[in-house]
Amino acid sequence: MSVHRSAVCRGPYGGEGPQAGGTDCSDPAVFEVARHNRPPLLVCPVHLGPALLLASKVLWPPVIHLIARAPDPRPL
């Protein structure tokens, strides 16, 4: 499975283009969430759930693709 090392989480709200830099997460993206008339939203595991509910134009029921290997869990 290919790993998109440059892909960064855009969650949980799904910022667009230059505005995407304003998202508050910089973890590697692991999932891709399909949206209506928009590029897929890349999210990390933590923001997958919130993004499905909070990001705009998310398909329902959700269409999610795994795009990278999930990182090791962080110690809490």
Q: Which chain residues interact with Zn ion by CB under 5 A?
A: 9, 11, 25, 27, 44, 47
Nearer to Zn ion, 11 or 14 (CB): 11
Give the total residue count for the chain. 76
Residue given tokens 């869990």 in the structure block: 73
Q: How far is the CB of 45 from Zn ion (least distance, A)?
A: 8
Q: How far is the CB of 51 from Zn ion (least distance, A)?
A: 8
Residue 73 preceded by cis peptide, ω within 30: no
Instruction: Say which amino acid occupies 60.
Output: W
Nearer to Zn ion, 9 or 64 (CB): 9
Residue 12 preceded by cis peptide, ω within 30: yes
Q: How far is the CB of 43 from Zn ion (least distance, A)?
A: 6
DSSP bridge pairs for 33: 41, 64
Nearer to Zn ion, 26 or 37 (CB): 26
